A and B are shown apart, each in its own frame.
Chain A
Amino acid sequence: MGIKILIVDDSSIVRKSLTKTLRMTELDVESVVESENGQLALDRLNKSERFDLIFLDINMPVMNGLEMLQNARKASVLGDARVIVVSTEGSQIRAQQLLELGVNAQLRKPVRPESLSETVMEVMRKTA
């Protein structure tokens, strides 16, 4: 069985290019689902949809990535999902907040495809 991926980013261009890159990695991808903000992603999780890997942007309208993660942790709906934050965020305080919320890796945009691929493989290996 392949892995189920959720991509949460308000840019459809980012979601599409991330999907393309992921499909070129060694990952056995079963499905990629996209959400355009934190609230829509949270709605999916609240409806018991489960994912193995979540890519999360931070600056999004309606509900940002940090709030989404806090709500998902509070409601215990993340399951065993690994979370990789991909955003333009570079502040140490934000990085610490994300670590405390159990984020597995943080990447700052722009992300090279090779770097994304390496991080994904490392996160999936570590938690396998």
Chain B
Amino acid sequence: MKHIEESLSQVGNLVLEEWAMMMVDAAPKALSIFELDAPFYVSTATFTGVFCGEITVVCQSPFLDCLTRNLLSMSSEEALDEPMKQDSLRELANLVSGNFLVETYGPETTFELPRFASRMADRKEIEALKPDASICCAGDGFPVLMGCTIHG
């Protein structure tokens, strides 16, 4: 799974830096990087093709606020609504999954990305997530986890 983690890391950095305009720092691969008692946001992008699986992005409100404000060039005084934040998260999962698949399996392989789902989750649900491979990093100081599960 090392090559999958390397691809995830490379793609995660690219997307957060180029698209989200965030400063990216390494973070320990542990749930303790999050505020465990605060709500989590989870977005899952399902892919099908030669392999089937899903990419999962996990973060919390401060990360999503920062991401959404960066994308829309909004100041910290302007109010953000929940649909905007969910939309940012879905698009983040879309960018990570699309680029991850090309990076990992090459342009000669075609995948469909038919389903994206975003939801809020609590600590228990996050602890139960067991992706095959995952990476953690911080965007503008706020933690995010990206995971990949391949079903074969």
Task: State the A residues within 8 Å of B (CB).
Answer: 11-14, 16-17, 20, 59, 87-95, 108-110, 112
Indicate if the CB atoms of A91 and B87 lie closer than 8 Å: no
Contact B101 A112 (CB under 8 A): no
Q: Say which one of B13-21, B27-35, B120-128, B132-140 lies at the interface with A.
A: B13-21
Beta-carbon nearest neighbor of A11 in chain B: B91
Q: Does B61 contact A (CB under 8 A)?
A: no
Give the chain B neighbours of A108 by CB distance below 8 A. Answer: 98-99, 102
B interface residues, tally (CB under 8 Å): 29
Asked if B82 is at the interface (CB within 8 A of a chain A CB), the reply is no
B71 at interface, CB cutoff 8 A: yes
Contact B97 A88, beta carbon cutoff 8 Å: yes
User: Which residue of chain A lies nearest to B14 when distances are taken between CB atoms in the complex?
Assistant: A110
Contact between A110 and B94, CB atoms less than 8 A apart: no
Residue from A88, A89, A91 within 8 A of B108 (CB atoms): A91
**Would you give 30 A-B contacts (Cβ < 8 Å), ordered by A?**
A11-B91, A11-B94, A12-B83, A12-B84, A12-B87, A13-B71, A13-B72, A13-B87, A13-B88, A13-B91, A14-B91, A20-B73, A59-B94, A59-B98, A59-B113, A59-B114, A88-B98, A88-B99, A90-B99, A90-B101, A90-B102, A90-B107, A91-B108, A92-B108, A95-B107, A109-B99, A110-B14, A110-B18, A110-B95, A110-B99
- The 7 A-B residue pairs whose C-beta atoms are closest, nearest first, are A88-B98, A90-B102, A110-B19, A91-B110, A11-B91, A110-B18, A59-B113
B114 neighbours in A (Cβ, 8 Å)? 59
- Minimum Cβ distance to chain B for residue A102 (Å): 20
Given contacts A14-B91, A94-B110, A109-B94, 14 further A-B contacts (CB under 8 A): A13-B71, A13-B72, A20-B73, A59-B113, A59-B114, A87-B98, A88-B99, A90-B99, A90-B107, A91-B107, A92-B107, A93-B108, A108-B102, A110-B19
